[in-house]
Amino acid sequence: MAELHVDVLDESCLLDILSRTSEGQMASTFICNVRWEDGSITQAFVKRFTSLDKIGISNEITGYIIANGCNLPIPHKVGLLQANDYCFDGYMLEHELVDEYSEWCVVVSAAQGVTPKSYYNKDIEHCKSLINLVASWDKLSDAISFDDWVANQDRNMGNLVIAGPNKIVLIDHSNLPVDLNWHPSDLVATKEFKNKLVDILDYFQHMPLPIKSKISHATAIHPEIYNAILDNLRYWWSVLLADEDETYQAALEHFLAQRANLGSMRVSSTYQMLVG
């Protein structure tokens, strides 16, 4: 497992702003051309969080590091981009204030494909076919297990990018753990949290035993994964949660460690399975 490298980019790396997307719910999201640390230039999504919601930046980086550790498909490049307000002149909405945003943005390279959410109320048959691709995805059990571990309750159809059978990429982690603006008191490791990917399976049928078994297997290796990525997580928490009370990082570390260690018992109870 290769450690996820997070590029740190300055505003000179923001080459063009092509458009502002309508799908970003938790942050203002833009399609841009970006130059990465290695000199490559790609189309990318740049997410701007308000100063009040800037903990979403830490949530995003945490999610990508853990998803990468779980060998789940994520965008090829993940980074932080420092950008001044004037970079986005002409793209601000009337109600937005130029000084309300964090100076740091989350940036990820664009993934090929579409999201089922983009077809809601437009082409329901195409949307159903995309959901069928999710239900048959060979990484679905790993993704369900990942969302259970990090208490991601918002795996909506806007944060799966689908290009074809077994060509699905996870994006958008601003709502983990638990919610966007979580507080340490929200991080109760033994609490049961909603897992929306399970609802996708239930849309078709009750969860089949092979999927349950794969979820159990994926969950069993979370403690090993967590130990392998902990130093990387701690580094970024020390940077991105520096303005928060020190209890935030301690609570997050304890929560994720406990969720990893209790995972096998938790999923066996949730899906009525015997613990091996």
As given in the structure block, the two tokens for residue 126 are 């195409």
Q: How confident is the model at residue 275 (pLDDT cuts 50, 70, 90)?
A: very low
Same domain for 75 and 192?
no
Same domain for 89 and 32?
yes
Q: Report strand pairing: 14-20 vs 6-9.
A: unpaired
Q: Give the Cα separation of 47 and 104 in Å (integer).
A: 9
Same domain for 100 and 182?
no
Same domain for 97 and 122?
no
Can the peptide bond before residue 177 be classed as cis, meaning omega within 30 degrees of 0? Answer: yes
Same domain for 148 and 234?
yes
DSSP class of residue 44 equals: E
Same domain for 177 and 250?
yes
Which pLDDT value is given to residue 109?
Answer: 97
In a domain, 170, yes or no: yes
Give residue for tokens 């945003």. 101
Give the domain-ending residue among 66, 83, 109. 109
Long-range contacts of 31-37 (CB under 8 A, 24+ apart): 31/110, 32/107, 34/9, 34/79, 34/81, 34/107, 34/109, 35/9, 36/7, 36/9, 36/77, 36/79, 36/109, 37/7, 37/8, 37/9, 37/79
What pairs with residue 14 in β-bridges?
34
| Residue 105 belongs to domain with CATH number | 3.30.200
Same domain for 125 and 253?
yes
- pLDDT digits 0-9 by tens, 148-185: 999 999 887 778 899 899 999 999 999 999 999 999 99
What DSSP letter does each residue of 10-32 carry, written as one string?
-GGGEEEEEEE-S--SSSEEEEE
Same domain for 86 and 125?
no
Same domain for 125 and 71?
no
In a domain, 275, yes or no: no
DSSP class of residue 258 equals: H
- pLDDT digits 0-9 by tens, 20-73: 887 656 788 999 999 999 999 999 999 999 989 999 999 999 999 999 999 999
Residue 26 identity (one-letter amino acid): M
In a domain, 65, yes or no: yes
Per the structure, the count of domains in the chain is 2
- Domain span at residue 191 reads 116-270
Q: How confident is the model at residue 273 (pLDDT cuts 50, 70, 90)?
A: very low
Q: Give the Cα separation of 45 and 86 in Å (integer).
A: 18
How many CA atoms are closer than 13 Å to the CA of 130, on its beta-carbon side?
22
Same domain for 46 and 158?
no
